[in-house]
Structure 1
Amino acid sequence: MSNAQEKASILQLVSEPVAPDIDRPGFRVYDHPVTTSTGNKLRAGVYWHGQRPGKGDAAPAPFDHWVCSPLHVSAVTSCNGAHFGRLLRFRNTLGQWREWAMPMAMLSGSGEDLRRELLSMGVEIDPDGFKQLNRYIQSQHPDRQVTAASTTGWHGTELFIMPGENIGQGDAILQSELANLDDFTRAGNLDGWRDNVARFSAGNPLLILGICTALAGPLLYPTRQQSGGINLHGKSSTGKSSIAQAAASVWGHGEQLLRTWNATGNGLEGIASQRNDTLLALDELGESDPAKVGDIVYALANGTGRARATRTGGARTTNRWRVSLLSSGELTLPAKMAEAGKRSKAGQEVRLLDLSAARRHGCWDHLHGHPDGGSLSKAIKRASVTHYGHAGPAFVRHLLDGEGLDGLPEALTLLRAQYQPRNNLEGRAADRFALLALAGELAIGCGLLPLKPDAARLAMLELFANWQSERSADPSEDAAIKALVLEFITRHGEAHFSELGRDSAPVRDRAGWWREDAGRRTWLLTSEGLRRAVPGFEQRTVLEVLDAAGWLTERGEGGKRAKQVKADGQSQRLYHLQPREA
């Protein structure tokens, strides 16, 4: 035998070894092509080795049915004794091995959803053998058991779960019906991100804010803070989207991870649950539904999806999440809601803080050698799709490698003490800016952000002061209540009120009476009239606001806000109001 023939023979033995004895019937997986003892050459994959009954006295005839490309069931997954699944390890068309924690529920029916995901990940499946694939997976019961997590993010205080990667300690894995979560992708390297994205934050408070918002996601759980974030608003083509893409590049592709407000509430809930403990970046607030955007903001900040029923009437598992939200657009939240004739409430506005993006050069203060803001914006956008997906995981590793998560609440308290809010609502806004400052200072400390110490803290203090100055000193909820009362009296004063003590024609839909006091009119509203004047607010809140503003001019016995008055021959409890224009 020549050397060439001997080499070819050896290669054949290496590439197509002889399969060990086969117990039929049964499944078997071959990672490489093999030759059976009967001389059949089998390509790599999962096989069903069966036997057909022989005719007459003939022995059964063995057959080998290829089911799919190589796929192993590595572990049984579950969460608290429920939500069982299987950890699949498979080789795709390019020869790369991948893992996916698959919910067992995907095997229900014909298993079409399972096959769709596997095919999209590069698994090759016999079109006529789908039942065998279901049988194969359900027949495997490996000894290894792994805890299944339904969301990304913290699983306890020592493990942070991401698609395809666990950071920290613990045997758990993300289990999802989506095998390929493209949000958390990587390219380039961390040094490239620092040099081409993060370095431009020096002297640019809004870019610091964007990156800090992205890094604040993993801090929500250990500091016990609620979801929420910032809406950068201002003219188009000033750099807002560049800041949003820079923030998105902390966790994934700068463009792909950035989503739009042009989505349903259910769709945004699904995205938020996939981004748990990280960043939810939404561009173009102006594309949202003005009639629903307020409710969506509440839902995103509260971290709980709508309760839904199954086909049998039972309750579906509710989506839950914690996200740091960064929004951008030309409009503020109140302006967008006003398009549908709705008034924003303080609770909505404090969950999504509107912050003007108007700086010296669009969104920028320092151009770093670029001729204008547009050039800087383009450079950041290019870099956000070249180097991405490294900073977020590196930040989490720093949190776990350092002194742990226990000291973070105290550190946040120290930063929060430096803010000077004028009321409770501004206090909640200060909580948000202090959290962003904490994220930034931690990132500076571990070298992720190439800034001097205190740069993030000072930038957030400056932006909080800007946010304060943009708002009226009068809280928006208080202002809305007083505006509604004044508008109601102005529009319906003659129709739904009459002068107290004078006989007049019956008043339809009466809201109260009025009287002249030293040339100033006092409006005496019934309880029902006050509710009509200020719909959507609790009456107790309304009375507190009007009382604090000095609009309630008289009190009843015991200091009660309603005073007993005789009107239309009956004794009635009425609220005495003297609205003021300013």
Structure 2
Amino acid sequence: MSEEWSFEKDDFLTTTPYEALYAYHKEPFTHAAKMEELAAYSVSKGFKGFKTMYKKYVESLKAQSGTIYIDNVTNFTNQPLELNAGDWEADDSGIFKKNGYNDEVACPHPIMPVERLVNIDTGEEKLQLAFRKGTIWRKIIVSKTVLASSNKVTELAGSGIAVTSQNARAFIQYISDMENMNYYLIPEKKSIGRFGYIPDEGFSPFVDGLIFDGDVNFKAMFQTVRSRGSETKWLETAAEVREMSTTAKIILAASFASVLLEPLNCLPFFVHLWGVDSGTGKTVALMVAASVWGDPAVGAYVKTFDGTVVGMEKTAAFLNNLPFCLDELQLAKDSKGRTTFDVYKLAQGVGRTRGNRSGGVDLTPTWRNCILTTGESPLTGTASGAGAVNRVIDIECKSAQAVIKDGMRISGAVKRNYGFAGRKFVERLYQPGVIDQVSERYRELFRILSDRDTTEKQAMAAAAIILADELACQWIFSGQQPLTIEQVSEFLASKAAVSAGDRGYKYLCDWVTQNSNKLCGRSENPNIEVLGALEDGRAYIIRSVFERILQDAGYSTAAMISYLKQENLIETRGRANTRGKRINGIPTECFCLRLPAVDLDDEEDPNDLPL
């Protein structure tokens, strides 16, 4: 290089070296190579800013003739890409261009688009911008709708980009020009804003080169799904946990089962561990289940019930096929101790359809996964609908039989070692031909479970759990015994327990017992409220009272009456649902409830009495 160039420091303040370089302007590659050589040579001679001076030289030639052209490239120190800047001057002092006698400033510091991202689910395009303030380059992913609006683009100021209402228009124009002039130079990559199966791509986040472009609030959670520590240590801990209790086996299997729901076309379901006793290992069991996929610390992958309905919907949609782990149901109770959490909101697998400011509707969130939860009370109550009870496997945890023993040691182990089994499980699951074999075994398990005293939805959930444990024992826990149908069936709700009608009828019968003194037909005492009558194994309940009882308990009046008529548990008059009865001497419309015959355990059998 020194043989070709023989300039001294002072020569760079004349036009001589720039004329020498401009002689190559018709040969783009040679011109670019010579520019780099001269720039390095000028530095060796103690002169900095060669490229900037060369741009000024070319501008002067343009001003003289108007017919000389040369690409104007970005000139940022340590820039990720070199892009054609067009009419913009883009160097370490910022980005600007001549606008008459003034400079139009787009940004006072280096910034440029470095990647174009196309979301696989929505098709939305975003740009990854690289910017530098100081010595470190930082990156941010921004929606193109933001980069197209002078009102929205100022939001980037919160991320450290110097864009204000004053330079917003110039900033937008600069980014747009850079993308359009360098469309084929800026790499295009696929992106995703969720976990789970992606058609023709694989399973997020286990797809190489796939970039997360979702809600920034989920970025931290996205990063929790990773591996850390020793796979051998995790396997030893998980194998030990599986031997501690059937419940521990079930919740660990449910974590694997979550990724089976999509290929098996199953509905989401809950596995809920509950118990009033502390120290049974419910939370630790949940952490072990979460450690299959990532960091199991509460607040990392594991969340609590202390959240809004919208927040939980978005989190479920973000997890998509990975298990949703929620701890401490009691955080979702109101001041009266009533649970405000609605099982249906997550069990349906579809969020609310919401409108947006533009007059359209947002993309409806969907998910298909297992929801693993813990709490001090059951997830469903006596007044819960059949659909809610159907979708929950409630498992009571008692201090006499802890789910996990030595919880401090186990939780510490899985916090240090996690994230290996999930990826391995998914990779085996999506190998050619495996899904077909898995589906056949699932149908077999579902058929066997459906023949028992449980509902189809309970059988569906149980079949997925048993199948997942069988696969985990083949692929992960070599040599261990999988869950059996008998072990899981113990925790499934019977058809009668699921039926809201059956539970409502029992509730009404209990109410009759509690208020039998008020079902006296007639009372001379004005202090006694008369609500109906009791005669010959039947309870006559005043219509308005009957409806209020059901509403206060959370049952649908119309649905309950339909069930009672169908099961012949109320006596009616023709097409009416009530019968006439004199209450306090006044003809009154009442619901006539047939009371069940009950075997009494506190009375002696007359046949056993001594003669």
- In the superposition, the TM-score normalised over structure 1's length comes to 0.72
1:456 is matched with 482
CA distance in 1, matches of 2:307, 2:104: 55
- The 2-side partners of 1:11 and 1:161 are apart by 52
Partner amino acid, structure 1, of 2:461: R
1:385-424 aligned within 5 A: 385-419=415-449, 423-424=453-454
User: Is 2:397 the partner of 1:357?
Assistant: yes
Q: Which has the higher strand share?
A: 1
The Cα shift of 1:481 comes to 0.7
The question of whether the paired residues in 2 share the 8 Å contact of 1:551 and 1:580 is answered with no
C-alpha deviation, 1:359, in angstroms: 7.4
Aligned residue for 1:443, secondary structure, equals helix
Distance 1:64 1:398 in 2: 51
C-alpha contact (below 8 Å) 2:580/2:588 kept by paired residues: yes
Residues 281, 327 of structure 1: 8 Å contact kept? yes
1:194-241 deviation per Cα after TM superposition (whole angstroms, max 9, x unaligned): 434433244233333232222222211111211122111232223222
Distance in 2, matches of 1:16 and 1:580, equals 100
User: Structure 1 residues 400, 312: closer, same or farther in 2, change over 3 A?
Assistant: closer
Quick check: 1:531 aligned with 2:547? yes
Q: Separation in 1 of the partners of 2:590 and 2:234? A: 67
Aligned to 2:351: 305
Equivalent residue for 2:249? 208
Match of 2:161, as an amino acid? I
Alpha-carbon deviations, 1:30-72, whole Å to 9, x = none?
A: 57269x9xxx9955x9x63523645xxxxx9899965445641
| Residue identity in the other structure for 1:51 | K
Aligned amino acid, residue 577 of structure 1: R
Counterparts in 2 of 1:41 and 1:113: CA distance versus 1, 3 Å: closer
Aligned partners of 1:77 and 1:145 also within 8 Å: no
Equivalent position of 1:269 in the other structure: 313
Q: After superposition, what is the alpha-carbon deviation per residue over 1:152-171, rounded to whole angstroms, capped at 9, x for unaligned?
A: 32233x434535x537xxx9
Question: Is the Cα–Cα contact under 8 Å of residues 565 and 572 in structure 1 kept in the other structure?
Answer: yes
Contact 2:543–2:589 (Cα < 8 Å) also in 1:
no
CA change 1:49–1:546 in 2 (3 A) is same
2: CA distance between counterparts of 1:442 and 1:16?
A: 64
Paired position in structure 1 for 2:466: 437
Structure-1 residue corresponding to 2:490: 465
Distance 1:396 1:175, change over 3 A: same
Give the equivalent residue in structure 2 for 1:232.
Answer: 273
CA distance in 1, matches of 2:354, 2:289: 33
SS in 1 for 2:317: helix
CA–CA distance in structure 2, aligned partners of residues 17 and 391 of structure 1: 56
Question: Does the Cα contact within 8 Å between 1:216 and 1:278 map onto a contact in 2?
Answer: no
Check conservation: 1:412, 1:438, Cα contact below 8 A: yes
CA 1:563–1:179 in structure 2 vs 1: closer, same or farther (change >3 Å)? Answer: closer
Deviation sequence 1:394-450 (CA, Å, 0-9, x none): 32222222415344433211122343675454x42232122112222222322x234
Q: Is the 8 A contact 1:153 1:161 kept in 2?
A: yes
Distance 1:193 1:10 in 2: 57
Aligned-residue Cα RMSD (Å) equals 4.9
SS state of the match for residue 294, structure 2?
Answer: coil
Instruction: Describe how 1:105-504 pairs up with structure 2 within 5 A.
Output: 105=146, 108=149, 109-116=151-158, 119=159, 125-126=161-162, 133-139=171-177, 140-141=179-180, 142=183, 149-156=192-199, 158-162=200-204, 165-166=206-207, 174-178=212-216, 181-184=219-222, 185=224, 186-188=226-228, 191-192=231-232, 194-204=234-244, 205-234=246-275, 235-255=277-297, 256-290=300-334, 293=339, 295-311=341-357, 315-334=361-380, 343-358=383-398, 362-364=402-404, 373-374=405-406, 377-419=407-449, 423-425=453-455, 427-446=456-475, 448-452=476-480, 455-458=481-484, 461-467=486-492, 474-475=497-498, 477-478=500-501, 480-490=503-513, 498=521
Counterpart of 2:196, as a letter, is: G
Check whether the contact 1:102–1:179 (CA below 8 A) recurs between aligned residues: no
Give 3-state SS (helix, strand or coil) of 1:51's partner: strand
Structure 2: distance between partners of 1:358 and 1:424: 24
Letter in 2 for 1:457: L
CA distance in 2, matches of 1:461, 1:359: 23
The one-letter amino acid paired with 1:250 is V
2:63 corresponds to? none
- What does the per-residue CA deviation read over 1:53-97, in whole Å, with 9 as the maximum and x for residues that have no partner? 45xxxxx989996544564133455756xx632142648999799
Task: Work out the CA distance in 1 between the residues paired with 2:234 and 2:130.
Answer: 35
For 2:461 and 2:413, how far apart are their aligned partners in 1? 28
* Gap runs ≥5 in structure 1: 55-59, 365-372
Q: Would you say 1:50 and 2:90 are equivalent positions? A: no
Q: Decide which structure has the larger Cα Rg and report it.
A: 2
Supply the distance in 1 between the matched residues of 2:90 and 2:201 (Cα, whole angstroms).
Answer: 45
Distance 1:314 1:112, change over 3 A: same
Is this contact kept in 2: 1:77–1:87, CA < 8 A? no
- Write the deviation string for residues 492-543 of structure 1: whole angstroms up to 9, x where unpaired: 66768846xxx9999x9997x54633xxx52345765543332243456424
2:295 alignment partner AA:
H
Per-residue CA distance 1:349-400 (angstroms, 9 max, x = gap):
3323220234766213xxxxxxxx22xx233322322232333233222222
Whole-Å separation in 2 of the counterparts to 1:280 and 1:133: 41
C-alpha contact 2:454 2:495 (8 A) present in aligned 1: no
